[in-house]
Amino acid sequence: MTDVLRNWRRVVGQRVRRLTPDEARAMLARISAEGATIFHPDIRAMTGGYNSQSINDYVMRKLAGQAGMIRKENA
């Protein structure tokens, strides 16, 4: 795993852990309503600017885990 990949995952983990379950649920709803495209500003903000389809899926799983929608072990 490269340092860049390790760093954005660490950044996402830190930022998601700071969210309350309600904040994570609201962000998920906003992203879902607008479409989780590679240009979505909330996802870019969570990753520090990185964005791709697989990164978006990773962020959505982490948010769902924080929101209590799925088990955190599965996120």
Q: How would you classify residue 68: left for phi > 0, otherwise alpha for psi between -120 and 50, otherwise beta?
A: left
Helix (H, G, I), strand (E, B) or coil at 51: coil
* pLDDT tens digits, one per residue of 11-41: 999 999 999 999 999 999 999 888 777 788 8
Full-model pTM: 0.84
The confidence band for 1, taking pLDDT boundaries of 50, 70 and 90, is: low
Q: In this model, does residue 75 exceed pLDDT 70?
A: no
pLDDT at residue number 50? 82
CB of 73 closer than 8 Å to CB of 61: no
Helix (H, G, I), strand (E, B) or coil at 71: coil
Which pair of tokens denotes residue 51? 């964005």
What crossing angle do the helices spanning 21-34 and 53-67 adopt, rounded to 10°?
Answer: 140
* pLDDT tens digits, one per residue of 33-56: 887 777 888 888 888 888 888 888
